[in-house]
Every structure is written in structure tokens, then in C-alpha cells.
Structure 1
Amino acid sequence: ENCADGKRYVPVELLDVAGLVPGAHEGRGLGNQFLDELTNADVILHVVDASGGTDAEGEPVEVGDHDPVEDLQFVEEEMDLWLASIVERNWESVERASRSPDFDIDEELTEMLTGVGATELDVARTLRAVEYPEDPIQWTDEHREMLAGEIRARSKPIVVVANKADVAPPENLQALKERNEATIPVTADGELALRRAAEAGAVDYDPGDPDFEVVAEVSDQQREGLQRIREVMAEHGGTGVQEALDTAVYDVLDHLTVYPVQDETGWTDGQGTVLPDAFLLPDGSTPRDLAYAVHSDIGEGYLHAVDARDGMRISDEQELAEGDVIKVVSTAN
């Protein structure tokens, strides 16, 4: 169910992968599996024990004994070294291509890095941001590692999910935010407890709500537990779980939600379902982009689009906005 109490939840695909340990790029632990699975990721939600109660090997320690910033650093370093190894393995082909008068380093690097999720724009922006020798033969390991780091930061942005915020020392949360602005304090245990309580009919709570309401009799112990969760939510604006997802999709990836409909007056599909579909599109997308997102045949047969809010036809080049409800007219409809 994607709707609850007037809120529309848009599904996203999450891939839960094994955690990294130092040396993962060399195959230590489940490193190769983790890093290979990164190739299809648009954004990474790095779940960190913000309390400092888990060390780099994943072993429990006393709260505050481990610096969670180190977890961010080594994951970034492992990802950078993984990408650098890919660049290194393929660099000889770049050197050979550079002998051609038609050589274009942007094209060569894009072809090399497409397989790990980097786009042509990622490569172009990276090359503008770093200094490098014009001749690829003169590139050093340092140049390639610098390239890998910039590509990783652009193609695999990270949202830090600072879990156990309910017991984390405030200085840990502050240090994580200083390292990465996209750091969200989270209490996963609190979210799970509220989900279960809501399913049992004990509380009224929807994911992302800043608070909840107790709507049934609960024991004194349960009431105390719920009160502790409420205090954490009051401090951080919620449990943080939904906020972390929203930050990843809407802020870091800069996407927006658009609703295609067949009937622009009733906002329904052929079965009468209101707003049956929701698509996440990059900011700057046009009606034609939406048509292709719905189906390639719809895109190929695209004729025009109608803004369902006012019934007016809109320009093919108009950039869509968050929450737009659009009827796409296509020969494939």
C-alpha cells in the first residue's frame, strides 16, 4: 500500500549489502561482493553506529570507544581504491587511444567508467575539477587515484545514516555532520518499535511523522519506552528513517515526483484508480522524459502533454515540477 492518511509513499529499490572492512578492495571479507554491487547504485546510505559502540571490524565495544568518523573515512577510501584499480587496469587502452588524432579523454573515460555507474556528465565535471597532464602516458598513480576519488564522490554520493542517535554522544553526531552534511540522526529501533505498535493498533503513526499518538491501552513499561522514543523524535524531528530516504532521493539525487494519469479530470487510470502511478525523475525532466519513463512506446509515440491541474497543454520543453499531475498524449495510448 503506497498511500496512508493522505500521504503518498513512492517505492524505491534498496539493496542491502554486506558491510565493508579495511582492505575490502583487496578482497578482504565480503569486500568484492560489496564493491561490485555498488555499480548499480545511484546513492549510498551508509549506516553508521553513531554511538561509537561498534568498532571497524563490526565488533561491539563500549559506547563512545570508537570514532564513527573513521567508519566514513575507510569506506570512502575503500571505494576510491576500488575505482582506482579499475582505472589502472584499463589505463593502457586509454594510452593507446591517445595516439589517435581524434582522441577525446572525456569519451575514453566515459566508456571506461559507464560500467560502474558514472555518466558522461560525471566525467566531464570531474575533469574540469582536477588538474592532470594532457598526455595520458604522463599520468601517475596519484592522478588516477585523484580521478577515482572525484568520480566516486559524483557518481556514488553518500548519505550518512547516523543510527543509535538515541544513545550517541552529541559530539559524535556533530563530527559526522562536519564530515558529511548529508548526515541524518536515526533511531532504527525507535522506528521499528513504532511500526510494530502501529500494526498492533496501539499508536497512530506513519513513517516520517515527527510524533505519534497512543490510541490504545499500553502497559507502564510500554508507555515508558514510547516516551523515550518521543523524546528522541522531538530532538531530531522524527526517527530519521524516512528523512534519510527523502534526503537521498530529493536532496542528494535532486529528483522529483510526477504523477502520470490517463484521465486529466479525475486523475485516474483506466480502472478508476486515483493517481495510480508515481515516477521519480531527475530535476529538469520534461513531459517527453516522463513519457519515456512510463514506457518506451509511449515515449516514441509522444504527441503532447496536459497539466491535469488546469487542463492546459504544456510545452514539450517545460521542466516538470514536484507533484505535477500530467496526462501524456501518445499514439501508443
Structure 2
Amino acid sequence: MQIGLLGKANVGKSTFFSAATETLVQSGNFPFTTIEPNVGVCYLKINCECTNLENRCENDLCHDGIRFVPVKLIDVAGLVPGAHEGKGLGNQFLTDAMKADALIHVVDVSGSTDIQGQPVNVGTHDPLEDIKFVEEEFDLWFKQILDREWPKLVKEIDQKRAKITDGIARRFTGLGILESQVDQVLISMSLKTKKAQDWSDDDIMGFLKSLRKIAKPLLIAANKADLCDDLKIIEKISTNFKVIPSSAETELLLRKATKAELINYVPGDESFSGKDNVQLSEQQNNALHLAKNVMTKIQTTGVQQILNSIIFDVLDMIVVYPVEDETKLMNKQGQVLPDARLLKKGSTAKELAFTIHQDIGNGFLHAIDAKTKQRIGADHELKNNDIIKIVSTLSRG
């Protein structure tokens, strides 16, 4: 599971990455500060299932019932209009972004950066333009990929050497696009039964737009929301996208202050408090006062909400806890609820087994629902917060 973080220069993308992963990266008010993609680990914040047990699990990633689930975050290189033609970092950007399961588009919702990422007065640039150009760059890049192979694909289909679904899917190998997703779009657009040679340019473009939306879903991080006079722009964006207001700069400040043991703050909380017997400098006081003003305006910094939403709302994932001892809910080392796995809603017990290890999946016999103590089969659909023991003929290694 990996999430791509994208956006033009100077919108706070690298600041968002630093805040989310607590990994310092170079940032600046000019294009291509990020040349190679930065890769880090961010954490989802959920209520651990141990809150429904007699005792807390004491897992390193569980703090008094709040569980932090790791997810890979990729901060890809900056984007400019014309990337599909090779402008800026061009295809490097698009390739890096397409490796992700879903995308967070960091947008300067305050309108204080132009289309190239140069600073302008607040409110003088329309952030809807940024969202539009990013979508267009992906769509046009998809079209370039398919256009190069389209005559060959049409010939293969005509000679019955390929079917439209697998033929298109093969053209997008390496981008994480599934044959089932291609098939879903073909059916929804009534293109599966239409001869490939009869597809119009509108058919091709409409198909690619729909495929991109399904295969690479996108959430808008409306960054610098605290600079807006009002947040009406959020309502405009939300008509077509999942959007969450944010202030990555404030989140980074709060995480640094927490690490320095100046405040009490858990990512995603709506407030923070000063620690007893800690003397703050005037500069620190002023910075934290500004942070409180931001959180008053937009409720939270938005960063944690965005991370959770891209996984649970956009990708529609659930959390399942695999264990080796279904009675004590432990692994062989005696750790209670040792792992929290992210699975697509509708995943089966056998699919869970394969996420643990290929051998476990290959040797799958049955599973046990640790809550009900019932034996479940390979096709049993798992639910959020299930605790499952896998019984397999094969062990890892």
C-alpha cells in the first residue's frame, strides 16, 4: 500500500510530507526542489481493537488504545503544465506518481501561487485551475501510452490474438492498473462489445478518464486553508472531489513541538496543550498562538484526516488483525494483536493469508474468527476489526 503525494511547486507539498512522515526534506519557493521522489512512512490513526479487550495490547504502535498503522508515502517530483510532453520533469513525475495506489493532490487553496508555482498575492489565482491541469496531464499521458499501441492492438483484436480487456491492461503494465479495472470501465461505457476500430477519439478519451479515476483515485488536500478569507472555495472543489482543508505548516510545527516535549499533541487532535513546568520562549509562544488560531479556523491541521480519508474513504480499506493464537490473540512471541493489516473491503480470509506470506496462502486450509471462535473458509468475507487465525499446511520461510 503506497500513497502518492503530488502538487505544483510552493504549495506546501514537501512540508506536508515532512509533517506526515516526520522526515525532513528539502523545500523551497521554486520548481523542482524535489527532484527524486522522497519515500517515507506515515501512519493512519485508528481505535485499536484492544479497546474492546480486558487489557491493552501494549503494541509499540498502540498508545492507550490509539493504533497507528504504517503506510508508505511517496513525495513525487514537482509538476508543471505540459509534463506529458516532457516539460519540467515530465514522464519521470508521471511514472513515479502512477506507482501509487491513490494520490493526494496538495493544492494551494488560498490562491497565493500561480500555475507555475510562483508566489502571487493571496486570492489572485484560482486553485480549480491547478486541479484541472493535473487531471489533464494524467489523461493526456494515458492517451499517449495507448495511442502508441492502438493500431497494433486493433490488429491483434481483429485477428483474435487478443481481447480488448487484457490487450489494454497489458499496455499499462507497470502502472498498477488491474485487468478488472479495465473491464469495469469497458462495461460501464458499453465499449466491450464495440469493435476497437470503431472507437472514436471521444470514446478513447472518455475511457481513459474513467480508467484514471478508478485506478488512481485522488483526494484534494486544500492546503494553506488558514490563509483564506473564507472557505467557500472548498465547497466548489467538493462538488467533484473528496477535499479536506489543511495547514501542513501548522502540523509540522506541532509535531516538532511535541518531539521537543513542549506540548501534548496527538496527530489528528483538534487541540493541544502546554506541558507543565515547561518555560516557552517568546518566539515559541507566538508560534503556538498562531497554531491555535489555525486550528480554531479549520478545526484541525487536516494532515491526519487526509491520510485516514485516502485509505478508508477513497480506497475503501478495512483493518484486520492476524494472530497465531486465537485464544490469547497473540503471536508466538506473546505479543497481543501484533499486526494490523490493511485490506480492501470485501477481501477474503485466503487473501489475508497471502498478505502474511505466499506460503501461508498456498497452503491455506481454513481460518478461525477469534471473536466468535468459528471456523471460516477461504471465501469468507472479512469485516473491519476482525481478529483472524490462519491455519495452513505450509509455514513461512
TM-score range, shorter chain: over 0.9
Task: Give the whole-Å Cα distance in 1 for the aligned partners of 2:144 and 2:340.
Answer: 39
Instruction: State TM-score, norm by structure 1.
Output: 0.93
Task: Give the whole-Å Cα distance in 1 for the aligned partners of 2:174 and 2:260.
Answer: 45
Q: Which residue of 1 aligns with 2:310?
A: 248
Runs of 4+ in 1 over 4 A off after TM superposition: none
Segments of 5+ residues of structure 2 without an aligned counterpart are: 1-59
Q: Does 1:318 align with 2:380?
A: yes
Q: Which residue of 1 aligns with 2:181?
A: 122
Q: Does 1:93 align with 2:152?
A: yes
Matched letter for residue 215 of structure 2: S
Residue 311 to residue 69, structure 1, CA distance change in 2 (3 Å): same
Q: Which residue of 1 aligns with 2:124?
A: 65
Task: Give the whole-Å Cα distance in 2 for the aligned partners of 1:98 and 1:265.
Answer: 55
CA contact (8 A) 1:306 1:313 kept: yes
Q: Please list the CA deviations of residues 221-249 of structure 1 after superposition, one character each: whole Å capped at 9, or x if unmatched.
A: 53443343234334434211111111111
CA contact (8 A) 2:364 2:378 kept: no
Segments of 5+ residues of structure 1 without an aligned counterpart are: none
Q: Which residue of 2 aligns with 1:43?
A: 102
167, 170, 176: which one aligns with 1:111? 170
Q: Which residue of 2 aligns with 1:82?
A: 141
Q: Please list the CA deviations of residues 179-219 of structure 1 after superposition, one character each: whole Å capped at 9, or x if unmatched.
A: 41x11111111111111111122211111222222223334
Q: Does 1:54 align with 2:54?
A: no
Query: For 2:111, what is the secondary structure of its paired residue?
Result: coil
Task: Give the whole-Å Cα distance in 2 for the aligned partners of 1:235 and 1:320.
Answer: 39
Task: Note the 1:215-230 alignment, pairs <5 A.
Answer: 215-216=275-276, 217=278, 218-219=280-281, 221-230=283-292
Residue 265 to residue 211, structure 1, CA distance change in 2 (3 Å): farther
Task: Give the whole-Å Cα distance in 1 for the aligned partners of 2:362 and 2:320.
Answer: 19
Task: Give the whole-Å Cα distance in 2 for the aligned partners of 1:65 and 1:317.
Answer: 55
Residue 101 to residue 310, structure 1, CA distance change in 2 (3 Å): closer
Q: Which moved more, 1:53-62 or 1:93-102?
A: 93-102
Q: Does 1:176 align with 2:241?
A: no
Task: Give the whole-Å Cα distance in 2 for the aligned partners of 1:179 and 1:19.
Answer: 24
Q: Does 1:8 align with 2:71?
A: no
Query: For 1:93, what is the secondary structure of its paired residue?
Result: helix
Q: Which residue of 1 aligns with 2:50?
A: none
1:161 to partner: Cα distance: 0.8
Query: For 1:10, what is the secondary structure of its paired residue?
Result: strand
CA contact (8 A) 1:286 1:317 kept: yes
1:332 to partner: Cα distance: 2.2
Q: Does 1:279 align with 2:338?
A: no
Q: Which residue of 1 aligns with 2:27?
A: none
Please identify which structure carries the higher strand content: 2
RMSD of Structure 2 on Structure 1 (CA): 2.0
Q: Which residue of 2 aligns with 1:202?
A: 262
Q: Please list the CA deviations of residues 25-47 of structure 1 after superposition, one character each: whole Å capped at 9, or x if unmatched.
A: 00000121111113321101111
1:118 to partner: Cα distance: 1.8
Task: Give the whole-Å Cα distance in 2 for the aligned partners of 1:50 and 1:101.
Answer: 50
Count of equivalent residues = 332
Please identify which structure carries the higher helix content: 1
CA contact (8 A) 2:226 2:297 kept: no
1:321 to partner: Cα distance: 1.2
Task: Give the whole-Å Cα distance in 2 for the aligned partners of 1:192 and 1:6.
Answer: 24
Task: Give the whole-Å Cα distance in 1 for the aligned partners of 2:299 and 2:386.
Answer: 27
Query: For 2:74, what is the secondary structure of its paired residue?
Result: coil
CA contact (8 A) 1:233 1:239 kept: yes
